[in-house]
Structure 1
């Protein structure tokens, strides 16, 4: 799987002991995910200590909106990554570059469009969320600046997913470290003001995020070309940045349902936030901090799922089906151990963790502790679902996971909370384990009995497109 002359060698995930390879590939991804969440947590600490509960509620509401925007980007990025992984498994480096080029082209256009629309519609979005009146002006100032940071966020997301698709999990980790250092370091300067920097309040936290993401995007692109990493585009390959209709169709057809999966989870969260916001600022702040801690609970499952997806994609591309089930079993075992361990730690040390964000005397702390004890363990079940879906989507099966998530996370969870809320606030928190139990049961049934093994992406798309266009790029990358 050689790239250009002097290129950094991609990692071949079709060889070697499965569990060891899975860990070596997933641990840097886990580190990057933890750093990403740590960055958000540090920002919330600054906001909470300097600006109070209303500002925390404001940033929490705005961040949910941003996750909604990222959902579509994740779907397209995941489809691109699967194409890259399957191409690498088939020893087709030009096909991998072609997939990434099309992904970058469409990501750039979509991110700029969303940034423009988001700037002008931020107020209407926050009103639709029933953002508490005390938090609304702060949330609006924060959200508008964050929308401007979307283009570098989207493009960096795609490039890092592309790097993982060729088996490189170290480079994304390095640049996530840079992102955290910049974002966390700039936050107090822009929140409080320093020297020529004006005091910007909660909008300063968003400004720090904006600057950090532009620096990281420029840096990672420069690094890829300086090190001649396999997915770089040069010469005739630069035309791959113009979205290819055939590949774009595949990315859209496969990526849109994966993006909708994220939208389903986000929509479920938005409806719950609307219910939670009506319980008052303290409950909204408590739930916002609980969500931040849950990002750490989900980190192992997300990292293992990403590793399983890329490993499965490369092995499917190589025709090594005997390893795919073994990869899934290994992923489930490692995920249960890691996610279960993080849940246990969170429940044991929840009070000091919550005090970091809210201050030791905050009235939101007992509310947040109660939420944690009811809902945190449900993420063990959801982690199983993530690993199973990571395998099936590696072969292009995206509709059944979407239907399962829609039923379990949106219909069951939201209906449970909405219908039973009159019986007590706890019904909001119990909706998490109920929805996750339904989802994991259906995911196990689909993995065992579904037709996902008969799906396929690479045989029908990448190889056919490469064969049709081979004369024009046969010398590319030499």
Structure 2
């Protein structure tokens, strides 16, 4: 049997040792990254609102909606690559992990360059489709075009961070996120106002700060990977792996598109609910909007645990350690109840002071408290669903979770909202959230138990041409062949 490559700083072998501490140590940096990204968005919104006004806020909101859809696509490809990298690293097939990340880099880089150019050219038409208000249109156009210029760096940063997590390294992505956040939030006022030698760029300055921050963070990640000789580093002849292999692209796209589609479903469901809530008046709309801000933080532990569970499960599936996969699932469910449950209790008990931070009017504040009391506890169910979906997705099962998510988000959530409306009034809207989470968890549990997702493993296809020299250590049992 081949020798196992030594672990690097921040990198974890997730196929051995106690599961609970490893899951916690992996989840916390991911949670930290999520919190930093949310804080960065809030800080930038404060800068823009303070220096440029309400129209600029509306402009960035429209542009950010477009970018969310873009990142949904790269998230899908990144998650597919993470699965391939994780399973390959679990087998200690380092060459397969590098080929997987190389093809993903080539695919995302090429796509982001094309989309960036097309986005720059057709930005006015895109904003017109979104019905961007006339006063915000010039600002939104300027902001969006600069954001499209920075699209390749932003997309590659997301991809590389996800690839690192596939090898058990959640610390390097946290460091990169921290660097990006410090630069972005710090440079926003510099380029907006033209402080020091910087030019005064207005709203374009905010987008330019984001471009610089992401490019710098990407350079840090690439340099760190090379310096530490991490499993997904590419050098020498391995750089040709960036030219996407047809079989690998087929695997990444085949798994990545359904994962990306989940983001679209989530967005569509959120927009549909906003449209329904808007009919209830300004106070209800304001209350719901602020509740969404609180929920963004409540769901963060679940998202972090789900990502950690997926990476751990992928490595252990690659190593053939299915007994550990079951224990990882149990540990993930327990940690979700502890972490998400604790956060739910805190925001429920201290709902008034938390909501008061947003300066709501008394009527809206009362409505927001009511929404939280009815629906926030449902995020414990949401977290359990994320754990189960993370595990099954680690073996390439993506269509089942996609279908389950669609059914729970539309027939169930909308059905409950409209069916219970005659009896519960507007409260039916808030009860639809825990109802859809419960439906998700029920269907996800059945799929986890009976879905057949354990059959096979998602192997990186064999090289198109044999090599005289292997550039990495490969386990004899790690024979590479496609799994359908």
Tell me the TM-score range normalised by the shorter chain: 0.7 to 0.9
Matched residues in 2 for 1:271 and 1:331: separation? 31
> Which of 439, 456, 474 is the equivalent residue of 2:470?
474
Correspondence for 1:387: 387
Q: Take 1:63 and 1:286, find their aligned partners in 2: how far apart are those partners?
A: 22
How many angstroms does 1:145 deviate by? 3.2
Deviates more, 1:290-299 or 1:47-56: 47-56
C-alpha distance in 2 between matches for 1:27 and 1:95: 28
Is the contact between residue 258 and residue 402 of structure 1 (CA under 8 Å) also seen in structure 2?
Answer: yes
- Quote the residue 1:465 is aligned against: 462
How far did 1:300 drift? 0.8
| 1:269 aligned residue | 270
Structure 1: distance between partners of 2:235 and 2:473: 7
Q: Where does 1:178-327 land on structure 2 (aligned, <5 Å)?
A: 178-197=179-198, 200-275=201-276, 287-327=288-328
Q: CA deviation at 1:119?
A: 3.4
What corresponds to 2:114 in structure 1? 113
1:241 and 1:142 map into 2 onto residues whose CA distance is: 31
After TM superposition, the structure 1 = structure 2 runs for residues 152-167 of structure 1, keeping only pairs within 5 Å, are 152-167=153-168
Instruction: Return 165-174 or 57-66, whichever deviates more.
Output: 57-66
**Which secondary structure does the structure 2 equivalent of 1:465 belong to?**
coil
User: What CA distance in whole angstroms lies between the structure 2 residues aligned with 1:367 and 1:43?
Assistant: 28
Contact 1:289/1:368, CA 8 A, preserved across alignment: yes
CA contact (8 A) 1:8 1:230 kept: no
Q: What is the rounded CA distance, in whole Å, between the counterparts of 2:282 and 2:141 in structure 1?
A: 17
Q: Deviations over 1:1-26 (max 9, x none)?
A: 87999976942111001111111122
The answer for the alignment partner of 2:478 in structure 1 is none
Which aligned pairs between 1:380-419 and structure 2 lie closer than 5 A?
380-414=380-414
1:335 to 2:332 alignment:
no
Task: Note closer, same or farther for the CA distance 1:194–1:362 as it changes in structure 2 (3 Å cut).
Answer: farther
Is this contact kept in 1: 2:95–2:471, CA < 8 A? no
Matches for 1:418-437 after TM superposition, within 5 Å: 427-437=428-438
3-state secondary structure, aligned to 2:462: helix
Deviation of 1:129 (Å) = 4.6
Contact (CA 8 Å) 2:341, 2:380: kept in 1 or not?
A: yes
CA distance in 1, matches of 2:201, 2:161: 31
Cα distance between partner residues in 1 of 2:420 and 2:57: 27
Structure 1 counterpart SS, 2:92:
coil
- The match for 2:31 is 30
Tell me the residue number matched to 1:39. Answer: 40
Residues 129 and 270, structure 1, Cα contact 8 Å, conserved in 2: no
Query: Residues of 1 paired with 2:59 and 2:140: CA distance?
Result: 4
What displacement does 1:142 show? 3.8
State whether residues 237 and 473 of structure 1, in contact with CA within 8 Å, keep that contact through their aligned partners in structure 2: no
How far the C-alpha of 1:403 sits from its partner, in A, is 0.4
Larger mean Cα displacement after TM superposition, 64-73 or 3-12: 3-12
> Over the residues paired in the alignment, what is the CA RMSD in angstroms?
3.3
Query: Partners in 2 of 1:331 and 1:167 — Cα distance?
Result: 16
Work out whether residues 78 and 255 of structure 1, in 8 Å CA contact, stay in contact via their aligned partners in 2.
yes
2-structure distance, mates of 1:101, 1:388:
28
Cα shift readout 1:93-113 (whole Å, capped 9, x = no counterpart): 000000000000001011122
Please say if residues 2 and 93 of structure 1, whose CA atoms lie closer than 8 Å, have aligned partners that are also in contact: no
Question: What secondary structure does 2:467 align onto?
Answer: helix
The alignment partner of 2:231 has SS state of coil
- Structure 2 length as normaliser, TM-score? 0.86
* Distance in 1 separating the partners of 2:276 and 2:131: 9
Matched position secondary structure for 2:71:
helix
Contact 1:267 1:410 in 2 (8 A): no
Deviation (angstroms), 1:316: 0.7
Helix, strand or coil at the partner of 1:454 = coil
Unaligned segments of structure 2, at least 5 residues: 475-484
Asked if the contact 2:288–2:371 (Cα under 8 Å) also holds between the matched residues in 1, the reply is: yes
Cα distance in 1 for residues equivalent to 2:382 and 2:277: 22
Deviation of the 1:355 alpha carbon = 5.5
